[in-house]
Amino acid sequence: MANILIIYSTTDGHTVEICRRIIEVLEQSGHHIKLVNVTEASYIDLAPFDKIVIGASIRYGKHSPQIVEFIAKHETMLDSKPNAFFSVNVVARKPQKNQPDTNPYVKKFLKRISWKPKLVKVFAGKLDYPRYTPFDRFMIRFIMWITKGPTDPTAVIEFTDWQQVEEFGRVIGEM
């Protein structure tokens, strides 16, 4: 079985929830997984891992700069192994924007970096208005209003299709 590294960045914790579901699927197949926040990833030796997965959330239209830096620094190692990238964003709640080639954030991100992941996926995220700071709540509600999304400041809405997440985990296991 494979030794798999999953590196993630998360703003509100939902990306790590997705990572944990992927890990459940992979562990059922006997794989060994190490989950690492991107802030700690620079201390990890990537060489012993058979596969590397990177997951990143979006906030205000951008992935974490730390993810971009990590990818730039380790692109050669990433390219030498089976690898995958997934993005988590609320715009992917819309059927016409839930694929890597139709999601504006993923398209923009992949143009910005030179690394070409072997597998790319996008998952719809989660709105959790009560957890946001007043500024973030205001801004996200405004963005949702513009994009005809939910704006109730008390709403907690999970848009993630967990079956897609589990299927992604199975595909990673078979890479």
pLDDT tens, position by position, 63-80:
999 999 999 999 999 999
The CATH code of the domain that includes 62 is 3.40.50.360
Parent domain of 145? 127-159
100 and 148 co-located in one domain: no
92 and 170 co-located in one domain: yes
105 and 90 co-located in one domain: yes
- Give the DSSP letter string of the chain: --EEEEEEE-SSSHHHHHHHHHHHHHHHTT-EEEEEEHHHHTTS--TT-SEEEEEEEEETTEE-HHHHHHHHHHHHHHHTS-EEEEEEEGGGGSGGG-STTT-HHHHHHHHH-S---SEEEEEE-EEEGGGS-HHHHHHHHHHHHHTT----TT-EEE---HHHHHHHHHHHHH-
Q: Give the pLDDT of residue 107.
A: 96
User: What is the domain count for the chain?
Assistant: 2
74 and 138 co-located in one domain: no
pLDDT in tens, 16-66: 999 999 999 999 999 999 999 999 998 899 999 999 999 999 988 889 999
| pLDDT of 116 strictly over 90 | yes
115 and 36 co-located in one domain: yes
